[in-house]
Amino acid sequence: MSAFLLCLDSGTTAVKAAAFDRHGRIVASAERQNRALRRDGARIEQDMVATRDDAFAVMRECAAGLGGTLDGILVTGQGDGLWPLDAQLRPAGHAMTWLDGRARQIASELQDSGALDEIQAVTGSRPTAASQSLQLLWLQRNDPQRLATIAHLLRLKEWLLFTLTDALLGEPTAALPVWGDWRSGALSPIVQR
């Protein structure tokens, strides 16, 4: 019996899956348009449940008829953004995607004040409107009631991993450029301040 590796890429435009054999050859694939994206001016959000459902659908379609076992699943997804969960581990509204522009004004304010330089000196990267830190600040200023419902912050790939495994895990290399000190590998209070 053959064994396969299933790879999922939940992108901004399309959700894709491919199955590879032990020799690295693609033996099956599936793709569908990202139907979870919601655009309204600078607000570009994504329905988290629809995102999960689209991902599961392309994985099922890709895996159907493989005639073997899956040795593993690799998951990746579109860049930055804020994929929030409440205390009961349910989506706390739609995700703010990496395309969402509502925090652009905040990024300009922080640039003018020199705060972005201070953050970059610690994290090694400069926050943008796509960064969770600035999206959270936007929520704090514009939707504090929603902010109060958020217990966990994920990125898309962590949301998909959670829906597949029920494990809340994050990748330190993804968190440090937003929240941490690249020298020590620890979270930095400078970003939060």
CATH number of the structural domain spanning residue 137: 3.30.420.40
pTM: 0.90
How many other β-carbons are positioned within 10 Å of the β-carbon of residue 6? Answer: 20
Cβ atoms of residues 153 and 84 within 8 Å: yes
Residue 104: what pLDDT? 96
Q: Enter the tokens of residue 41.
A: 């001016």
Please give the distance of CA 70 from its chain centroid, rounded to a whole number: 24
Cβ atoms of residues 30 and 61 within 8 Å: yes
Sequential DSSP letters for 89-105 = SSB-SSEEETT--TTHH
Tell me the one-letter amino acid at 45.
E
Nearest of 77, 107, 106 to residue 7 by alpha carbon: 77
Opening angle at CA 193, ends 144 and 160, nearest 5: 60
Q: Give residue 183's domain range.
A: 2-192
Helices (runs of H) and strands (runs of E) counted in the chain: 8, 9
Total domains, the chain: 1
What does the pLDDT profile of the chain (193 residues) look like in tens digits? 588 999 999 999 999 999 999 899 999 999 999 999 999 999 999 999 999 999 999 999 999 988 888 899 999 988 779 999 999 999 999 999 999 999 999 999 999 999 999 999 988 889 999 999 999 999 999 999 999 999 999 999 999 999 999 999 887 777 777 888 878 888 888 888 8
